[in-house]
């Protein structure tokens, strides 16, 4: 059977685990390592899709949308009737949808986990819902993204060995149910998610089961949000190599340059994060010298660009003084969010481009050091 997404390795960096590859999807090729802008509700916040496609020098080739949000509003059936997510949101390049798992687990007391799945209440109207591996596939099949994610349990990072062991085993059973329920394998690639917390043997157990299913790609789950860098890197040190080298590898929810670079160094290919657009709406810019709060009084009459080393639309055409003016209002001007969203996403898309070039030239380690020295991490 034709696979929806295939991966070709282009080259490995001579001195690190970093690798340069390409994913072939039904909506075009995606050069890796890649940073994927997030369009939670079928819109990358404050940006037109054409401007997303023009980010960096090569353009963003894939974005992410959220199953949980689109399931609740406007509903996956509406999106299916609209002709799928690509058509609905006017984006003809690749899309990845998450499983909805992370969002429902984040609901805390509002959700309940059983072997069947997770029941939860809608934040919109309090109505009862249930996500199962089967329903997550049904929703993602209707949305129609090029890459869809397995429905996994995102266990609490501080859970003990026994909890993680049971949770990881259930996630593997759920993955098999996902694979069985997935109706459009020729159009949509199902990626598995490895769990196992911070326990190497559980990560190995998880990897063994999910790799057995011979899926077109794999993610490393459970290390994304708020973990100290040592613990994050500690898992990557052994977990990446448990996954097959001929498939793309994905760490979800990562958008800080140092976390991206550590993962790339160990052979991870894909990243996404809402932070660039969220920071933008709060007037925070990501720059080659670290973060900058544009509403700071010192930028009142600063007529230099937000990042003098950046060649994005915002930095080519506007000053810090103008950007600060847009934010320094009782109701900040929408253009401020637009400019900073484009700038921040450009920054990360461009970072991935520069990472790819460095790997092609076997100088990833030097690139990483130079970048982080300047960035201040």
| Site residues (vs a second copy, CB under 8 A) | 41-43, 45-48, 73-74, 78, 81-83, 88-90, 124, 300-301, 303, 313, 317-319, 321-322, 324-326, 328-330, 333-335, 337-338
Q: What is the DSSP letter of 130?
A: E
Query: Following DSSP, what letter does each residue of 5-26 receive, concatenated?
Result: -EEEEEEE-SSSS-EEEEEEET
Q: Which two tokens stand for residue 191?
A: 């990626």
Verify whether residue 272 is a known catalytic residue: yes
When the beta carbons of 341 and 355 are compared against a second copy, the nearer one is 341
Least distance (Å) between residue 58 CB and a second copy? 21
Concatenate the DSSP letters of all residues of 271-333 into one string. Answer: EEESHHHHHHHTTEEEETTEEEETTSGGGTT--S-SSTT--SHHHHH--HHHHHHHHSSSS--
| Helix ranges, the chain (H) | 49-53, 67-72, 76-81, 85-89, 101-105, 133-143, 161-181, 200-212, 229-239, 257-265, 275-281, 313-317, 320-327, 334-360, 364-375
* C-beta of 110 vs 334, nearer to a second copy: 334
CB of 329 to a second copy, least distance (A): 7
The verdict on whether 125 is a catalytic residue reads no
Minimum separation from the CB atom of position 234 to a second copy (A): 37
Structure tokens at 347: 């920054």
Q: Which is nearer to a second copy, 77 or 370 (CB)?
A: 77
Q: Which of 13, 51, 98, 307 is catalytic?
A: 98
**CB atoms < 10 A from the CB of 343, how many?**
26
Q: What angle do CA 233, 236, 237 make, to 5 degrees?
A: 85
Could you check whether the bond before residue 210 is cis, i.e. omega within 30 degrees of 0?
no
Catalytic residue among 146, 152, 269, 272: 272
**349 vs 343: CA distance, rounded Å:** 10
Helix (H) or strand (E) holding 48: none
Smallest distance, Å, CB 197 to a second copy? 33
DSSP letter for each residue of 236-255: HHHHGGGS-TTS-EEETT--
| Residue nearer to a second copy on the CB measure, 298 or 330 | 330
Least distance in Å: CB of 129 to a second copy? 17
Query: Nearer to a second copy by C-beta: 221 or 336?
Result: 336
The nearer residue to a second copy, 214 or 301, going by C-beta atoms, is 301
| Collapsed DSSP state (helix, strand, coil) of residue 63 | strand
Which active-site residues does the annotation give?
98, 272
């Amino acid at each position: 059977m034709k696979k929806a997404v295939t991966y070709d390795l282009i080259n490995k960096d001579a001195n690190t685990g970093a690798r340069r590859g390409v994913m072939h999807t039904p909506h075009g090729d995606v050069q890796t390592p890649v940073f994927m802008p997030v369009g939670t509700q079928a819109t990358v916040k404050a940006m037109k899709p054409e401007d997303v496609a023009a980010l960096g020098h090569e353009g963003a080739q894939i974005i992410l949308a959220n199953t949980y949000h689109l399931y609740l509003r406007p509903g996956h059936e509406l999106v299916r009737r609209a002709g799928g997510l690509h058509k609905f949101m006017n984006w003809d390049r690749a899309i990845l949808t998450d499983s909805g798992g992370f969002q429902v687990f984040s609901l805390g007391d509002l959700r309940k986990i059983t072997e069947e799945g997770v029941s939860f209440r809608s934040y919109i109207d309090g109505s009862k819902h249930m996500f199962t591996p089967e329903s997550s596939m049904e929703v993602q099949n209707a949305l129609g993204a090029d890459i869809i994610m397995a429905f996994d349990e995102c266990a609490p990072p501080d859970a003990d060995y026994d909890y993680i062991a049971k949770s990881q085993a259930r996630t593997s059973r759920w993955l098999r149910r996902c694979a069985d329920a997935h109706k459009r394998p020729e159009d949509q690639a199902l990626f598995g998610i490895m769990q196992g917390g911070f326990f190497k043997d559980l990560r190995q157990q998880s990897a063994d089961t999910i790799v057995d299913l011979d899926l077109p790609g794999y993610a490393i789950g459970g290390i994304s949000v708020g973990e100290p860098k040592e613990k994050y890197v500690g898992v990557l040190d052994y977990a990446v190599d448990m996954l097959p080298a001929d498939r793309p590898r994905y760490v979800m929810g990562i958008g800080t340059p140092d976390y991206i670079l550590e993962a790339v160094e160990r052979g991870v290919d894909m990243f996404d994060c809402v932070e660039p657009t969220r920071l933008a709406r709060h007037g925070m810019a990501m720059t080659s010298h670290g973060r900058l709060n544009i509403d700071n009084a010192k930028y009142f009459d600063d007529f230099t660009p937000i990042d003098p080393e950046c060649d994005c639309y915002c930095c080519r055409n506007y000053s810090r003084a103008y950007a600060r003016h847009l934010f320094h209002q009782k109701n900040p001007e929408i253009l401020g969010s637009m400019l900073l969203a484009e700038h921040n996403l450009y920054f990360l898309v461009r970072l991935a481009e520069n990472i790819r070039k460095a790997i092609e030239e076997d100088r990833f380690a030097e690139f990483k050091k130079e970048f982080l020295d300047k960035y201040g991490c």
